[in-house]
Amino acid sequence: MLRAKTDWFNGREASQVQAVAPITRTPYFCSGCPHNTSTRVPEGSRAFAGIGCHFMALWMDRSTETYTHMGGEGVPWVGVAPFTKEEHVFANLGDGTYFHSGSLAIRQAVASGANITYKILYNDATAMTGGQHVDGELSPQQITFQLHSEGIREIYLVSENPGAYPANEIAPGVKTAHRDELDAVQKTLRKVKGASAIVFVQTCAAEKRRRRKRGTMEDPARRVLINPAVCEGCGDCSVQSNCISVEPLETEMAASAPSTSRPATRTIPASRAFARRLSPSTAASRAAARRPLWGTSAICRSPPRSRRSSGPIISRSAASAAPAC
């Protein structure tokens, strides 16, 4: 009797430990999250994670490893660097964590002389906990001056509008670049000896929606649309944008296209922000080739608006909308 009771308890405990939920959902970046772009690293490099939404890059194919407490981002590399042949790593850091205590980690990295590049995302909101404002005054320009004061001399300010940051408003020697050039900037900085930094400016899309609803941010009234006349259903728009809201359409062209023409991943230059890969197999696609058609590609962007219309330039057959980033 005692053995039977023991076996029953042991069996119940084992079943509780090994229980698997019927449905699992891995946390992921929100649609339009700037981390979709900022957490990428060049081939052959890797990044360290920390506290913030970018932590989720650990379970994505982003060459991101390990994590620390808030304020310790990248510091493990200080201890590892002298004992490895690896020359350089990146460390992701959000502006909220940077303001809280992340600047101390940067100070330690500078003092150690380790080859590391901090990628500080200025998304203008503490997105991890609901989009609150950072506790204090902070701007991309201020961050560049603080980094310069800590001893970092190789600093890039990367944004969608580099012209908004003239030289007289940022720290001496800071270079500006468009966010499409992030990969090239990273390849440049991973060759730099010592600590370097990238201030990546892109407002959280969820925060943009809040501000537009409250009337505190201009709504461009433009959206990127997936046009059935050009969509082949390859899914590459979702792969390139890393966005969970972008899905290929079930179109006639997608159904008729051979599987060999629909690779799982296809590299598209960031400057090609629209899809015009038209198949000549149908009369509809030939007609579509004679008018401007837009769709999603490597980067979620809005098409230019017509002078005669306040809406986006899009064909009448367009059906599916992606979030405005």
Q: Give the Cα separation of 76 and 58 in Å (integer).
A: 16
Question: CA 24 → CA 20, 27, 52, 54, distances in Å?
Answer: 9, 10, 22, 20
| Closest listed residue to residue 312, CA positions, set 325, 294, 297, 296 | 294
CA distance linking residue 261 with residue 244, whole number of Å:
23
Instruction: Look at 227 and 325; give whichever has higher pLDDT.
Output: 227
% of the chain residues with pLDDT over 90: 42
Average pLDDT for residues 299-325, to the nearest whole number?
Answer: 34
- The pTM of this model reads 0.71
The answer, yes or no, to whether residue 263 has pLDDT greater than 90, is no
List Cα–Cα distances, 262 to 245, 250, 258, in angstroms.
20, 13, 7
CA nearest neighbour of 57 among 8, 90, 23, 16: 90
Closest CA to 104 of 71, 80, 77, 78: 71
Q: In terms of pLDDT, which residue wins out, 274 or 117?
A: 117
Q: Residue 236 above 70 pLDDT?
A: yes
87: its two tokens:
């020359």
**For the chain, which domains are there?**
35-209 (3.40.50.970), 220-325 (no CATH)
Beta strands 64-65; 116-122: pairing state: unpaired
Band of residue 243 on the pLDDT scale cut at 50, 70, 90: confident
Residue 218 has pLDDT above 70, yes or no: yes
Instruction: Supply the pLDDT for residue 161.
Output: 93
Report the mean per-residue pLDDT for the chain: 77
Mean pLDDT of the region 246-262: 59
- Grade residue 208 by pLDDT with cuts at 50, 70 and 90: confident
User: What is the Rg, in whole angstroms, of the alpha carbon atoms belonging to the chain?
Assistant: 24
